[in-house]
Structure 1
Amino acid sequence: MLHLIAAVLPLLQSAPDRAELEPGVDMRLYQADRPLERVHEPVPDASPNVHERRDRIEWTTEESFGGLTDNFVAVVTAWLDVPAQGSYEFRITSDDGSMLLIDEERLIWNGGLHAPQPREGKLELDAGLHALKVFMFEAVGGQYLSLEWRPPGAEDFAIVPTEVLWTEAGVTRVVSPGPKQMADDLDGLRAGDGLPLESVHPRWRLETIHPEGFDPMVGALAWLPDGRLAVATFEPKNNGVRTDEPNGTVWALSGWDGGDPEAIGVEKIADGLFHPLGMQFIQGWLYVAERDAITRRRDGDGDGFFETREVFAHGWIADNYHHFTFCLEPFERELWVSLSTSIGTDGDVGGDSIVALNGPNPPDRGTLMKIDVDSGAVTYVAGGFRTPNGVLPLGDGTALVGDNQGAWKPANRIDLARPGGFYGYYNETRVATKQHPEGGAPSLFSDRRPSPPALWLPQGEIASSPTAMVWAPRHGPFQGQVLIGDVKLGGIRRAFFEEVEGQLQGAAFRFCQGFEGGVNRLLWAPDRSLIVGMTGESATWSWRGTRTGLQRLVPTGVETFEFHSISATPGGFRLRFTDVVDPAQAVNLGRYQVRHWRYEATPEYGGSKLDEGDLGVTAARLLPSGREVELTVPGLREGTVVWIRADLQAKDGTKIWSPESWYTLNRVPGRELPAPPPVEERGVLVFSRTAGFRHGSIPAGIARLEAVAGELGLPFEATEDASAFADDNLARFRAVVFLNTTGDVLNLGQEAAFERWIRAGGGFMGVHAASDTEYDWPFYRQLIGAHFLSHPAIQAAAVDVLDHDHPSTRHLDGRWVRTDEWYDFRAEPSSQFSVLLELDESSYEGERMVADGHGASHPIAWFRELGLARCFYTGGGHTDAAYDEPDFVQHLRGALAWVARLED
């Protein structure tokens, strides 16, 4: 049971500097993926669902456990500051089981399924800091955990006070939604199969290339003209504190290829840098990507130290600790650079909350840019990135950009960044801070449709904090593929890309592990070895607590049986391997497992797998080469991640290096949508199916919308048959209206067809109870904007008109008084929507939305453009009378004209 404790929180293995601590404990909660019956540990490297600093261990309500209720695990750590030597008694009370460890030794076991139950233990402790850990699990029922002590001389037990509990100061605590595996679930699995790899790829051997005492936290790597390796180092801070002091140094390493770490020479050649995260030597100058500029340095007097410094390119602002300038990747006479976005902290929000750690930014954060080497001119290429710590120029004006999970990024991803492209991250614009009293600047190009990733890297499975990217060696079997580092999950993974019907997509594979730290930078050496630079900071941004490292991979020539690549086919996938596959295993369907899911971008930190399910393999055919297997996999959906496990051996009996792969299926080849009719023949479809409350006004609404469509010259159809949501049928319409629909009205296939139609430019209009529909379909939230919460009795209310330019509101005065059923919503629509109408809550009785904290205002009609599509919602339309009210009818007419693109 305890074999993985050191992997969960390794930073408690040695006492820290007290200056790096703050009062309290570190609490991590993990939602389990199955019912629990005993104390468990989460798998190594899993991101928690809840991660917070707490004053002490005394939690007795659902709220105190971050809203988790059943089947979760708590892992609590702290440094216990024992005031004096003596005999100390401890009491842990829990519902359900728990255990207490001090200095890695189990003191109390309180196991089993039970109501709140105390257990006690006693031990001798010296004065000073002692590592304290608590593991607890909750099955069903109530939740309870407390830790008490009785120090020497005390009469009774009391909660262990905050003043003797210490934890790492100011850590940015990173979370990830969705269920987590428990360590015992992995019994019987092996490294590379359900678990991360633990060793170096057989085609390589690993050498350490730094002498003892030189422990670099590597930010950047480059080659000097004399063959020495330039290593830029700095100590990253993941504690919310921006430093204005230089913290970076550049070292030159000689003898790095001699095989003896102690013979390597280390010389300081530059200092005074700010967060160096990219470096190149060009024509006598050492170019460095620093926090708020690209600088360059020259050795002006020939003493080997680069003392001459000048700013080469600048113009962006870095006013948050999470504002980094990543990479400095050359292509011809350009340097490609990326800028990260901020993380909000309690210290800079001025009393306002920040959505999911998504803080406000100055202009141009979250961008990819290129810089002209001759002039220093900056060109912003693409926007919508969060933490793009890897850039690989492709030579055609595009680049691969790696990004980290977070707000608007449900998982890690690799994007094909095109000029003017937007890649999904919306900078916070609504929150005022000290630096941004008017709110932050929007993401560059955020008015454009977000592009899907070329490759999803699921959090905790294949990546956790992707970093540098380099091409796989041309002299090996993976030419044209990409190697990707990772700080938090550690190691290197491999990616294969293919273009299908104009869309880049591909597969990710585990590749190499066993390094001394989390991988931040990769650099090919002239002798075909791969330099691996490592870093880390705090338990939330490091690989198992490691923070330093510099090693190299030297090719051995040893052949390995593993995936080579995966390509999509019209009916499934073609799996390619590096050696001949055992023929009997290749056609054995039991050797394959296939699952798929999708992600939905939200302002929340990370995202869960949606619509996850198994896919059956109905046929497996070994192709004549003996190295390729063609799988038939029915039920594939575009816009999904497909996990493929192939438990195979080579013909000579060699077991596959890692049987798992993750394919991003943006397009299924050969699947063509039917050609739509000419635009002038396309009409409007009114859908009024209900799976909950049914409004008596539906017939009146259909009649009015039919009349409005006739006035607009649109062919009209109304239906409650969900089978209408099929590709060939939807192609006949310019707009779809959800009229007072309720509940779950479409199945998964119909949802997929509707999403394809929307993304191809369809128009959506929701009326009244359309917001009481499809609560569990995240894409629908992008169309509807907000979901229904409650409503008071039907009554008159005043509506303030905020936008007089939209076709649905231009006929209205500044205030519109009318009678309807006024909805409260679970939350305001996001900043992606523009509000047209807002309710004056003082003008009617029974309002709840603002008063109960569901929004700062009460929108009642809004619109947005979603890529090529147009979306509109109005909260009116409950009563029959509404559809005879002239102003409301004109409101509907203008909205329908707008979503059908008859008016701008």
Structure 2
Amino acid sequence: MRRTSRIAGGLAAVVIIGVAAVGADEFNYVKRDTRRATREATLAQYTTPLELGAWYVIGPFDNAGRDKHDIVYPPEVGIDLAASYEGKDGRLAAWEEIPDDAWMKHDLKRFGDEAANTDGIAYLARRFTAPRDGVVTFQMGSDDGLKVWLNGRLHVDADVYRGFNIQDHTVELPIRAGENTLLVKVTQGVGGWDFQMMPVVDPRLLTLLEYHLNRDFPESPELRHYQMMTILEPPSIVLEVGGLAVMPDGRPVVTTRRGDAFVVENAYEVPPFNAVYKRFASGLHEPLGAAWDEDGLLVVQRGELTRLVDVDGDDRADRYETVSEPWGVSGNYHEFAFGPERDGQGRWWVTLNVGFCGSLGKSLVPWRGWALIVEEDGALTPVCGGLRSPNGLGRNAAGDMFCCDNQGDWVATNKMMHLDFGDWHGHPAGDTWYDEAGMAPPRGEEDFKPPAIWFPYDRVGRSASDILLDDTGGKFGPFEGQLFVGDQYEASIARVFLERVDGVYQGACFRFLKGLDSGVNRLAWAPDGSLLVGMTNRGWWSHGPRAWGLQRVVYTHVEPFEIKTVEVQPDGFLLTFTGPVDEVLAAEAKRYDIASFTYERWEKYGAPEIDRRSHAVTSCAVSRDGRSVRLRIDGLRAGRVVEISLDGVVRDDGASLVHPEAYYTLNVIPSAPR
């Protein structure tokens, strides 16, 4: 059948692809007036530039029975962006532009209600031009099935139902000089409906380039205060970081989701382009946590806590010791295990993910959905249940243990919870184990323990991960005693201030740092107070240019102007800043926009913010030293998240706030001034 191509519209951005491998000694940085011009000029020495048009999408077409992967719908006959067709269930299907000047991931659940986005087929089309013939290698993935044509020739044909993974297909596409046309067909059953393709670029070249670009053209104010450096692994290592620790001699050690552990040498060079990864262990079962104790490296595998011991000091584990294994593994794909982390009493903790059957979490074997303490003899002490996907454990300055849970069934949005004996954190899957723990089972919603922190979805991340206490003594900036929290989806880090009010933990979360290489999964302090960040995105798509990696974040000693703390008062809040404010501006009530909201509690995946209310600021009082502002606010109520947005509050030298928003989880309002 003849296919024609009529994609109209102007071309968008110039993107450099087809990058050849290059080493640090061969890299030639070409600085221009802007970040973009510098990037293009540097990469043009090694690459073929492509001028990209927008993506266009059309659908849904019918996939009832999920057997229509090979049915030819009109877009396969000819791409006419002005045309429309009868689609699924008689709906009108017309082409729609998706702005994209790169190779973004696209969510195709865009056609209306859930019925329209189930058992369907969508097409995407894009035009681009190339200056010369060539072959470019692309990675691509889809949820669910996929066909990809370039210039009328079929290159990918996968009639499957699967979750999204950008690494599903690696394809060499023959690019011709002049105009080229891509056509993509993505089938859908139920659940996610996604597509992405992107060129395979030598990561060493990009790492070298990004280091120089971030130095000369920082993309955000954050980079004036914190510098990110990639500790690049060799091409032979798939560094999907599951665990991250620091050895007694200061070298980082990482565990990977594919079962390896590596010691990293030369990690602290600036820039760290000569890092050496030495295999410490292999054959582990998806170790999603690591910590060094007095005798070796502790790693949490899916089914046990293991100690890896290097007997002869050659940086290779000689002995694998089972420390504890009394929790269950059914074989369910979602039964992750996290930890170990020490609390203030020196006890090791682990948390266990529930399994998933359909769209709901299930605790099929003991202690799934629970937090546990591992005793010295390896026995388990159950602490609390109600957890869903608790990927992140950490203690606060008082030594109490917290974990982060991820949005999903019974979890409205990402949250940070204080873990204590007998608590119930709201997910019912693990309720069956309360009797075995010798604890009273939860009676219902009256036993739900609200989190210390709700992270508003999309505003402070989408997939909270590791927790790390800032105990660096100021080496990492002005946030000693606060917590940093990774986000896997956003490739970012948030900051958390906690306080205890009438025995209940609550506090504020803030954005801190975005733009890391991949999804942030693990955090650890280097000996010099810099922050090590372990990353992965397989199965859990993330922002960032890479699928995995290890980075180091270094404080530049240029202090950021931030809201440092938010402390609740009987009638408002006390905001403390990292520097003195402009007292005239900070005393104006119009500078503060206060709102509050809450969430539904249900078994659906996530929940919207509901009952949003605005609150008037009745007075603002600036402290004598200019570092604090006391706000009196009308109508605050417990059980809500308070959004505090500042507009025009600046430092006394005119510097703007790096992040002018805070989100305070208000569980308790004190009865007396604090």
TM-score (norm. length: structure 1)? 0.52
1:323 aligns with 2:321: no
Separation of aligned partners in 1, 2:411 and 2:450:
11
The residue correspondences of 1:374-393 to structure 2 (distance < 5 A) are: 374-393=376-395
8 Å Cα contact 1:364-1:444 kept in structure 2: no
Q: Kindly state the Cα deviation for residue 334 of structure 1 after the two structures are TM-superposed.
A: 2.1
In the other structure, the counterpart of 2:79 is 89
Of 267, 278, 292, 1:267 maps to 278
Of 221, 224, 245, 1:202 maps to 224
Separation of aligned partners in 2, 1:122 and 1:59:
22
Deviations 1:138-157 (A, max 9, x none): xxxxxxxxx9x9x989xxxx
Q: Kindly state the Cα deviation for residue 500 of structure 1 after the two structures are TM-superposed.
A: 1.6
Instruction: Give structure 1 stretches of 5+ with no counterpart.
Output: 15-54, 65-78, 107-118, 135-146, 154-159, 176-196, 235-246, 346-355, 431-440, 673-904
Q: Kindly state the Cα deviation for residue 164 of structure 1 after the two structures are TM-superposed.
A: 5.3
Of 225, 230, 234, 2:248 maps to 225
2:273 alignment partner, SS class: helix
8 Å Cα contact 2:59-2:94 kept in structure 1: no
Separation of aligned partners in 1, 2:102 and 2:399:
57
Q: Kindly state the Cα deviation for residue 490 of structure 1 after the two structures are TM-superposed.
A: 2.0
1:469 alignment partner, SS class: strand
Separation of aligned partners in 1, 2:518 and 2:102:
26
Separation of aligned partners in 2, 1:534 and 1:605:
25
**1:563/1:201 CA distance change after superposition, 3 Å:** farther
Deviations 1:329-385 (A, max 9, x none): 12454211111111224xxxxxxxxxx43335322111111112x322211111111
8 Å Cα contact 2:335-2:353 kept in structure 1: yes
In the other structure, the counterpart of 2:309 is 298
**1:204/1:105 CA distance change after superposition, 3 Å:** closer
1:170 aligns with 2:140: no
In the other structure, the counterpart of 1:248 is 259
Deviations 1:119-140 (A, max 9, x none): 9999899999999999xxxxxx
**1:215/1:584 CA distance change after superposition, 3 Å:** farther
Q: Kindly state the Cα deviation for residue 494 of structure 1 after the two structures are TM-superposed.
A: 0.6
1:335 aligns with 2:348: yes
8 Å Cα contact 1:344-1:360 kept in structure 2: no
**1:105/1:546 CA distance change after superposition, 3 Å:** closer
Deviations 1:605-639 (A, max 9, x none): 11111211222222222222212112221111110
1:662 aligns with 2:660: no
8 Å Cα contact 2:510-2:661 kept in structure 1: yes
Instruction: Give the length in aligned residue pairs.
Output: 522
Amino acid at match of 2:429: N
Deviations 1:61-84 (A, max 9, x none): xxx9xxxxxxxxxxxxxx9999xx
Q: Kindly state the Cα deviation for residue 429 of structure 1 after the two structures are TM-superposed.
A: 8.3
Separation of aligned partners in 2, 1:527 and 1:412:
31
Separation of aligned partners in 2, 1:460 and 1:591:
24
1:407 aligns with 2:397: no
Deviations 1:85-138 (A, max 9, x none): x994355447586426799799xxxxxxxxxxxx9999899999999999xxxx
8 Å Cα contact 2:347-2:374 kept in structure 1: yes
**1:661/1:445 CA distance change after superposition, 3 Å:** farther
Q: Kindly state the Cα deviation for residue 670 of structure 1 after the two structures are TM-superposed.
A: 1.2
Q: Kindly state the Cα deviation for residue 399 of structure 1 after the two structures are TM-superposed.
A: 0.9
8 Å Cα contact 2:299-2:340 kept in structure 1: yes
1:585 alignment partner, SS class: helix
Separation of aligned partners in 2, 1:494 and 1:122:
40
Separation of aligned partners in 2, 1:97 and 1:87:
15
8 Å Cα contact 1:415-1:454 kept in structure 2: yes
In the other structure, the counterpart of 2:96 is 99
1:358 alignment partner, SS class: strand
The residue correspondences of 1:663-742 to structure 2 (distance < 5 A) are: 663-670=664-671
Deviations 1:207-233 (A, max 9, x none): 222245355211111222333211111
Q: Kindly state the Cα deviation for residue 396 of structure 1 after the two structures are TM-superposed.
A: 7.0
Separation of aligned partners in 2, 1:623 and 1:392:
33
In the other structure, the counterpart of 1:712 is none
1:370 aligns with 2:369: no
Q: Kindly state the Cα deviation for residue 659 of structure 1 after the two structures are TM-superposed.
A: 0.7
**1:80/1:217 CA distance change after superposition, 3 Å:** farther
Q: Please say which of residues 320-329 and 204-213 is displaced more in the overlay.
A: 204-213
Q: Please say which of residues 209-218 and 414-423 is displaced more in the overlay.
A: 209-218
1:343 alignment partner, SS class: strand
In the other structure, the counterpart of 1:455 is 453
Instruction: Give structure 2 stretches of 5+ with no counterpart.
Output: 1-8, 19-57, 86-90, 104-122, 166-189, 193-218
**1:225/1:620 CA distance change after superposition, 3 Å:** closer
**1:152/1:336 CA distance change after superposition, 3 Å:** closer
Of 185, 192, 216, 2:239 maps to 216
Higher share in strand: 2
**1:96/1:658 CA distance change after superposition, 3 Å:** farther
Of 357, 369, 390, 1:344 maps to 357
Separation of aligned partners in 1, 2:515 and 2:533:
12
Separation of aligned partners in 1, 2:141 and 2:268:
43
Q: Which structure: larger Rg? A: 1
1:488 alignment partner, SS class: coil
Q: Please say which of residues 93-102 and 361-370 is displaced more in the overlay.
A: 93-102
Q: Kindly state the Cα deviation for residue 391 of structure 1 after the two structures are TM-superposed.
A: 1.3
Q: Kindly state the Cα deviation for residue 386 of structure 1 after the two structures are TM-superposed.
A: 0.9
In the other structure, the counterpart of 2:558 is 558
Q: Please say which of residues 314-323 and 397-406 is displaced more in the overlay.
A: 397-406
Separation of aligned partners in 2, 1:631 and 1:101:
43
In the other structure, the counterpart of 2:109 is none
Amino acid at match of 1:294: L
**1:270/1:620 CA distance change after superposition, 3 Å:** same
1:427 alignment partner, SS class: helix
Q: Kindly state the Cα deviation for residue 297 of structure 1 after the two structures are TM-superposed.
A: 2.0
Separation of aligned partners in 2, 1:302 and 1:105:
47
Q: Kindly state the Cα deviation for residue 590 of structure 1 after the two structures are TM-superposed.
A: 2.2
**1:165/1:228 CA distance change after superposition, 3 Å:** closer
In the other structure, the counterpart of 1:359 is 362
Separation of aligned partners in 2, 1:133 and 1:294:
34
Q: Please say which of residues 87-96 and 209-218 is displaced more in the overlay.
A: 87-96
In the other structure, the counterpart of 2:55 is none
1:420 alignment partner, SS class: coil
Q: Kindly state the Cα deviation for residue 588 of structure 1 after the two structures are TM-superposed.
A: 2.1
**1:420/1:545 CA distance change after superposition, 3 Å:** farther
Separation of aligned partners in 2, 1:620 and 1:203:
29
8 Å Cα contact 2:367-2:430 kept in structure 1: no
In the other structure, the counterpart of 2:534 is 533
2:645 alignment partner, SS class: strand
Of 440, 462, 465, 1:464 maps to 462
**1:523/1:199 CA distance change after superposition, 3 Å:** farther
8 Å Cα contact 1:80-1:131 kept in structure 2: no
Separation of aligned partners in 1, 2:71 and 2:140:
10
Separation of aligned partners in 2, 1:56 and 1:286:
52
8 Å Cα contact 2:397-2:482 kept in structure 1: no
TM-score (norm. length: structure 2)? 0.68
Amino acid at match of 2:299: V
In the other structure, the counterpart of 1:190 is none
Separation of aligned partners in 1, 2:610 and 2:307:
47
The residue correspondences of 1:452-601 to structure 2 (distance < 5 A) are: 452-472=450-470, 473-475=472-474, 476-538=477-539, 540-543=540-543, 546-601=546-601
